[in-house]
Amino acid sequence: MNNSELYPKTPEHILLIKPRFKLTLKEFQNDDNLKKEYLDTIVHGNMTHYYEDACKEFDWEIDENLLSTMKHENEITLQELESSDNSTLESPEKMNWREKFEFYCKIGDLDRGTDIANTILEDESNSSSAKIDAAFGLFRISYIRNNACSMEKIITQITNLMEGSHASGSNWCCRNKLKVYEAVYCLATRNFPRAASLLLECIPTFESYELLPFKEVVEYTVLSGMISLSRSDLDSQFNNNGLLQQALLTETPRYREYFYTFYDCHYKDFFENLGWIESEFKSNPLLHPHYRYYVREMRVKAYSQLLQAYRTINLSRMATEFGVTEEYIEQEVARFIANGKLYCKIDKVAGMIVTVSAAGCNRSQAPDASCDRGLIYQNTIKKGDALLNRLKKLSQQLLVRIHKIMAHRILRKYPRSIYKGTKEVQQYFKYLLVLDFECTCKKYEQIEPQEIIEFPCAALSTQTWEVEDVFHRYIKPTFNPQLTSFCTNLTGIIQDMVDDEPHFPEVFATFCDWLKEHNYFEEGNDCAFVTCGDWDLKSMLPSQCERENVQLPEQFKKWINLKGTFCDATELYPRSLKDMLFRLSLPMHGKLHSGICDVQNMVKIIQVLHSDYNVQFKINNVQSNILETYMKANQNI
């Protein structure tokens, strides 16, 4: 199993955007391989409108037989969509609108797709979720047409739908998706700082494959972050970002090389990579208008980074660092000095560049002694910090050496008193209660309210690391008793499995009795719940207890997020339960999104984290009110 198999695929008509734009560029107009790749994708997807538009724009001969065959296939598909409308209970104008919208976008009939989405948006009787989906669809059409003005209007429209009075159903997934869409708009309008911030936030939970493949999201994060973030921010948000580093290694190694040649100050290699980045910008319709600006600003950033380390530097040395001629460096630096982008001056006689501190200096005048003293002070502080850090590292190394010497002496004197081998960490909890809820759900939108329909929990002993007891019950939903076909396909729970089951208050009371019966959470028998993510105990259970007037015991207000523990052990933040199994080379047991199967898979992950990583399982998340109470109680400490 490779990484690509873990993630959904981006639609082919979205992936065609770049090849189509490349064919408009002079350097690719005679590229037969690119033309063949583009036409093969069109024929495979019966994209008749894209085919006709391309033949017209690039003056290609139209194959009438091929076009007729593709149109015939599309007519059959459309008839199937129309016939499936008869099985729905909605009004005719709402039937299968999502499938029809995607179909028209796929074949290139963007006007028809726009009409369908606008109809859904303008109908006040539609739910906010349906309107938001329609607005996202309109954004994708604007993205295909590279229309930034339309993108801006749609982003505003989606934001208003989510924040308006009818947006109670807009969930976290939609808000996370909006970040990706807004980031694309920011890239189109050269707002790189905002794009970098949004992309860094959504990378850990990225799901907007209908707009971009994950690989491009990583690439855009690198491009926008490098031009907009300071060196310290690059260190904290790029170097210390385990998921981003993992994605760079597996998805885009060339962009990783581009980043580290800049960050590690290998300027000659950086300039070579920057030339490649320029070609990437040129062939991307979203970034093409900004390629001159981006390349110029990255050169300025590289020059500034080098000059910060020197009071003076020879032009020849600087030219060698960047792998260019002295004349080129002199002209470049002079131009950037004149534009106020570099704070230095060129001593033509000595063949040197003299750096100047930007703080406290008038750029319209020659630098004076006060500027020099300020620069010397800054450099002294930097050297002092570096020296202190070096001394700290040396002291740590010295302590380690002393401990080894002392241990060696004790071992010689008392050879039988030393335990040889890796000491197992002490666990805080006697039992880990592994649980994973399954809830009612609906395709394309969030059902209101969501209700728990499967309640599994396994008691895993931290002494034997075996499951000693299991609680597992299905629950009959109260507000939406009829399960959707999407819910059944996702969870494997059919209607008969919940019809004769009790409602949530009774099952939850039975579970609490089960906890008391086995003395879990009693004195001397400390336990902790383990979940895959925070949703189960942070959102789902509290909301259902509040809705059904059930008191939530204190032990449910803090838990162990298995994803966080996995990240602490492996330094890789997992995207999902499936990702954790993949990283640990564990097979999937049963059906994904079946509550009891997910619990069994989580138990396997916990056992491997214990046996292979010697992990200490600790509480890493709590309800917000618990945290507020703790902060108030300790505010005077």
List residues with catalytic annotation. Answer: 438, 593
What does the alpha-carbon distance between residue 441 and residue 361 come to, in Å, rounded to a whole number?
62
Q: Which residue from 11, 6, 10, 60 is spatially nearest to 34, judged by alpha carbons? A: 60
For 109, residues 6+ apart whose C-beta sits below 8 A from its C-beta are 49
Q: Which helix (H) or strand (E) holds 559?
A: strand 558-561
What does the alpha-carbon distance between residue 578 and residue 499 come to, in Å, rounded to a whole number?
30
For 435, residues 6+ apart whose C-beta sits below 8 A from its C-beta are 455, 456, 457, 458, 529, 530, 531, 536, 599
Residues 343/356, Cβ–Cβ less than 8 Å: yes
Bridge partners of 435, per DSSP, are: 457
What does the alpha-carbon distance between residue 282 and residue 295 come to, in Å, rounded to a whole number?
11
β-bridge pairing 558-561 and 621-622: antiparallel
What does the alpha-carbon distance between residue 265 and residue 305 come to, in Å, rounded to a whole number?
8
Q: Which amino acid is at 468?
A: E
Bridge partners of 354, per DSSP, are: 312, 345
Q: Which residue from 109, 174, 100, 183 is spatially nearest to 136, judged by alpha carbons? A: 174
Q: Which residue from 221, 297, 299, 294 is spatially nearest to 267, judged by alpha carbons? A: 299
3-state secondary structure of 478: coil
- Half-sphere exposure of residue 336, counting CA atoms within 13 Å on the CB side? 22
Residues 412/516, Cβ–Cβ less than 8 Å: no
Residues 501/485, Cβ–Cβ less than 8 Å: no
What does the alpha-carbon distance between residue 434 and residue 561 come to, in Å, rounded to a whole number?
10
Residues 318/306, Cβ–Cβ less than 8 Å: yes
Q: Which helix (H) or strand (E) holds 345?
A: strand 344-347
Which pair of structure tokens corresponds to residue 81?
């969509």
What does the alpha-carbon distance between residue 597 and residue 591 come to, in Å, rounded to a whole number?
6
What does the alpha-carbon distance between residue 114 and residue 70 come to, in Å, rounded to a whole number?
22
CA distances from 593 to 80, 209, 576 (A): 30, 20, 11
Which pair of structure tokens corresponds to residue 629?
């109470």
